Structure 1
Amino acid sequence: MVVLVDKFIEKVVLVDKFIEKDKFIEKDKFIEKGLETKPLLQHSDYYVWDFWYYYDKKSQIYHLFYLNADRHLAASDRHHFFARVGYGTTEDFRAIKWIDYNVLSASSQRWDNTSIWTGDVIKIKQGFLMFYTSRNQQEDDGMTQNIGIAYAETIDAKQWQPLPDIRIAPDRQFYEPKNVVGDSSTHAWRDPFLFRDRGQIFMLLSAKSIHLPLGKKGAIALLRSRDGSLLNWESLPPISQSGWYSEMEVPQLYQDTQGEYKLIYSTWGKGDFAPTTHQAGGLQGLTASHWQNFNPQSPDLILPGRSGLYACRIIPELEGEIVGFNVKNGGIQRSGIKTNYREVNRDFKDIDCSVIGKS
């Protein structure tokens, strides 16, 4: 039986403390027992955390991109400052072929001269684009995040080529442009997620609202492509800014079986002040009949932080199963919880970026 809160997934009987009222099975024990039966996919040499992927429908292969760093750095949280992007493949998230630990990394010759953080990958006419997060250690306090774009002709390229002239920064009309003194968590302009709707291209980002109080600035930014080229973007008002979170990380958009939209995000319990979640943190979400009309007043708790998984992805190709990284040990792990969420329009194969292909 699936454990969720406030009817976020259909046909599930929900109880505040127990999964099944008559059996008195505690939620935490249920989740832990479920995870014990799912293989923890760890790299033999490196600590692995956030991931994103491109699914090839013809071959039915998931092409994974994952953050990784030397394993000994994780104990002191220093792995974030040495992160690079690795590549692997999987058929079902039960086993991963770890192919290359470094297909994109920072360079002292570019603006993104520190570690690489979470991204998104899409297919275009000329190949593939990877949107990623990075920083410049010489600017501000070294924590100001921007979005970069890298190109590869094939999804399994040994090295992705960053486009050095592209750097997507926050619009200070809506979003904090850098760290704010006294805030409880670092600057946020990261974790891109692209989608299309009615002939336009949009991007979601983890951000900080300029209009919210310290410690509760977490927001999900909305950007729109200016010309459909994927290279020029304009900032729009946040798609969500409730004032209840320090951070709203790894945002994604899906639809349920009834066609309603689901905006999901991850947050840590210590920065979760939503009245309906009781500082549970973890994977949470909002529901709306249209993706531009989310009401932030009633967030749903999908998978609490106690599950041990974070920065989770919904995998539509696996009946919407929740897959995340194991916080304690590193590595990628299925949850066994299936949402039946469907993918929104993320088909960019018709986009002509010939200028990129010739660079």
Structure 2
Amino acid sequence: MLRLSDHWVWDSWYARDDDGLWHAFFLPASRALLDPHRRHHRATIGHAVSTDLRDWRLVADALVAADTPAWDDLATWTGSTVRGPDGRWYLFYTGVSRAEQGLVQRIGLAVCDDLVSWHRHGDGPLVEADPTWYETLDPDAWYEHAWRDPWVYPDPAGNGWHMLITARARDGAADSRGVTGHATSDDLLTWQVQPPVSTPAGFGHLEVPQVVVMDGQPLMLFCTNSVTADRGGPDAPLVWVAPGTSTTGPWDVAAAMPYAHPSLYAPRLLPDDAGGWQLIGFRDHEDGRFIGEITDPLPVRYVPGVGLVPTGPDASATPRTPTAPAQAAVAHAETAAR
């Protein structure tokens, strides 16, 4: 696991270099803040490396907040890292500013040749929400302007790149506007915002989206701590997976299926060397206390109509019994999938 004695660690994403070394990019903030709720406006993008996703060695931070004034001079948040056709690495990230008290989120880019020495691309954000389709800052509806957690991946037909984004629809019930935002690019540098690739379905937001194909089934993984009562309410599971007909969507969030775990949040699905899959995320709150450390890999498989289920000899090592609201959420998902 990745646990720091002096920092909390939460959202993470991963890249693997030509030598097979895993690179973890993650959000850290000092435990000297005492209150973990204060960590969000102190976040940087940390960096660690590992050969096995279990034992990690810290290296220099990848990115910190820019000098004031700048659109990302308060904190840098979650993103994704991909290698472009030019051989360079591209780190897409979320930024928030002091001028807006961190309430408005935008997406930026840093680039490098070696996964270590990152430099911002330009001096402004790369992708901003289009109010044609997406909610902007509306304190009467939501506490922030959600436009974060970019997940970038190549088009399966070779037609450029796709970006999935944590966003909210412009209209609808305030507690159920969560959608997956979408943008496209031919070159990773110039992006066009598109309509969302999901529709509101009982979630306030769909955080840290990721797309994979497991056993031929395109899936979108996401997490949320904002769920309407009909899907389980405050005690609903934190991690969900939605099926799609293609990696480009659309994603049937109404048929999303929960992954029952007591505290895992913002996980990523990573392939193992045996052809299987594993989840890695951070431990959120347990017994009312924020943990703030990244787990060891949790082997999983996908079962149609059920979702992700644990596998391997330690599948029952962590309590995973769903609560009553979680069981209701499972039933809802199975009904929607029929």
Whether the TM-score (by the shorter chain) exceeds 0.5 is: yes
- Alignment CA distance shift 1:189-1:237 (3 Å): same
Is 1:113–2:73 an aligned residue pair?
A: yes
User: Which of the numbers 81, 91, 112 marks the counterpart of 1:152?
Assistant: 112
Deviation at 1:182, TM superposition (A): 2.7
Q: Does structure 2 conserve the Cα–Cα contact (< 8 Å) formed by 1:209 and 1:217?
A: yes
Whichever residue aligns with residue 45 of structure 1, its letter is: D
Structure 1 counterpart of 2:203? 245
Report deviation, 1:105.
Answer: 2.9
The match for 2:96 is: 135
Q: 1:67 to 1:185 in 2, by over 3 A?
A: same
State which of 266, 285, 296 in structure 2 corresponds to 1:334.
Answer: 296
Answer whether contact 1:134 1:146 (CA < 8 A) is retained.
yes
**Partners of 1:87 and 1:102 within 8 A in 2:** yes
For structure 1, the residue ranges without an aligned partner over 5 or more in a row are 1-39, 342-359
1:241-280 equivalent positions in 2, closer than 5 A = 241-257=199-215, 259-268=216-225, 271-273=226-228, 275=230, 279-280=235-236
- Decide whether aligned partners of structure 1 residues 274 and 217 sit closer, same or farther in structure 2, where only a CA change above 3 A counts: same
Report if aligned partners of 1:122, 1:129 keep a CA contact under 8 Å in 2.
yes
Query: RCO higher in 1 or 2 (8 Å CA, sep ≥ 6)?
Result: 1
Counterpart contact for 2:49–2:56, Cα < 8 Å: yes
Identical columns (%): 25
How many Å apart are 1:145 and its aligned residue?
Answer: 0.3
Q: Aligned AA for 2:59? A: I
Structure 2 runs not aligned, ≥5 long: 285-289, 304-338
The code of the aligned residue for 2:148 comes to: R
Amino acid of the residue matched to residue 67 of structure 1? Answer: L
- Change in CA separation of 1:67 and 1:74 when aligned onto 2, cut-off 3 Å: farther
Q: What is the rounded CA distance, in whole Å, between the counterparts of 2:244 and 2:229 in structure 1?
A: 18
Cα 1:107–1:260 change in 2 (3 A) is same
Paired residue for 2:8? Answer: 47
**DSSP 3-state at the match of 1:239:** coil
Q: Residue 35 of structure 2: SS of its match in structure 1?
A: helix
Give the equivalent residue in structure 2 for 1:308.
263
* Cα distance in 1 between the residues matched to 2:112 and 2:183: 23
Counterpart among 134, 152, 164 of residue 194 in structure 1? 152
Q: Give the length in aligned residue pairs.
A: 291
Instruction: Output the CA distance in 2 between the equivalents of 1:314 and 1:110.
Output: 33
Task: Specify the SS of the correspondent of 1:175.
Answer: coil
Q: Which residue in 2 is equivalent to 1:172?
A: 131
CA distance in 2, matches of 1:185, 1:281: 22
Distance 1:266 1:169, change over 3 A: same
Aligned to 1:295: 252
- Partners of 1:252 and 1:265 within 8 A in 2: yes
- Displacement of 1:311 in angstroms is 0.6
> 2:200 & 2:125 partners in 1: Cα distance?
30
The alignment yields a C-alpha RMSD, in angstroms, of 2.2
Determine the C-alpha separation between the residues in 1 that align with 2:222 and 2:177.
15
The 5 A counterparts of 1:16-35 are none
